[in-house]
Amino acid sequence: MDTYPRRSFFDYFKSFDVPVHSCTDQIDITHALDYVKKHKLVFSLAMTLLVTKAANQVPEFRQRIAGEGIEEYDYVRPLYTILSPSKIVSFILGWHADNFGKCYEANMAIRQDVLAGQKPGLDMANPGHIIVSVVPWHSFTALTMPFSRKHASVPVFTIGKFYRQQSATMMPLAIQSTHALIDGYHIGQFLDCLTTYLEDPEQHMALAV
């Protein structure tokens, strides 16, 4: 911690009663949505995996507050929502790999097990994940999710209902993270990565495994 360049910000913000900040961006998913439809993918899962892939490219999104210090994970997994046939929301601790095709296949298998009635195994004691919540019923321009101080350093992403805007298809994406670890600059890095993936789905969403 003595060599951590953001030490003063870390010490200042981690003691706040509300240490998290939230922002919502409208993301152009035109090309990615066409790819999803062409290959008959599950939209919510595909977007969850791209968000996870982008988050893993920014070290600050893999960092967690641990006592008075910071732990950085080699990679983080997606903890994402799924709606059961009885309309009850469940969380799935998904699988992550840089290869989109392998990652999609593995998570589809987990998803199908949960839809078939199996209870997903969750290890909430390990914060090596991000939370991705999908809300396909409405769009939004601002959103804040519940959080606890204990888990405030786990980033939360919320995907909303996509919509048409002129010739583009847009999707709201809310990003909630702790200011003790993440600044606007890091959010910008994440969004740059995600935009790159969405603009070239043939390369970044390839299904060949």
pLDDT, tens digit (0-9, with 9 covering 90-100), for 99-150: 999 999 999 999 888 888 777 667 677 899 999 999 999 999 999 998 888 8
**pTM score, whole prediction:** 0.94
The pLDDT of residue 129 is 95
Residues forming beta bridges with residue 63, ordered by sequence position: 72
Give the count of beta carbons closer than 10 Å to the beta carbon of residue 161: 13
Lowest average pLDDT, out of 4-8, 72-76, 125-129, goes to 125-129
- Between CA 55 and CA 126 the distance in angstroms is 17
For residue 208, what pLDDT band results from cuts at 50, 70 and 90?
low
User: Residue 95 is encoded by which pair of tokens?
Assistant: 């699988």
- Between CA 194 and CA 180 the distance in angstroms is 23
- Between CA 113 and CA 14 the distance in angstroms is 38
The pLDDT of residue 119 is 74
Query: Above 60 in pLDDT, residue 54?
Result: yes
User: Residue 159 is encoded by which pair of tokens?
Assistant: 């995907």
Query: Backbone dihedral region of 67: left (phi > 0), alpha (psi from -120 to 50 degrees) or beta?
Result: left
- Between CA 149 and CA 20 the distance in angstroms is 9
- Between CA 168 and CA 28 the distance in angstroms is 7
What's the pLDDT tens digit per position in 32-44? Answer: 999 999 999 999 9
For residue 157, what pLDDT band results from cuts at 50, 70 and 90?
very high
The pLDDT of residue 33 is 97
Which residue is associated with the tokens 């847009």? 170
More reliable by pLDDT, 98 or 190: 190
pLDDT, average across residues 149-175? 95
The pLDDT of residue 121 is 67
Q: Which domains does the chain have, with CATH numbers?
A: 9-201 (3.30.559.10)
- Between CA 150 and CA 89 the distance in angstroms is 23
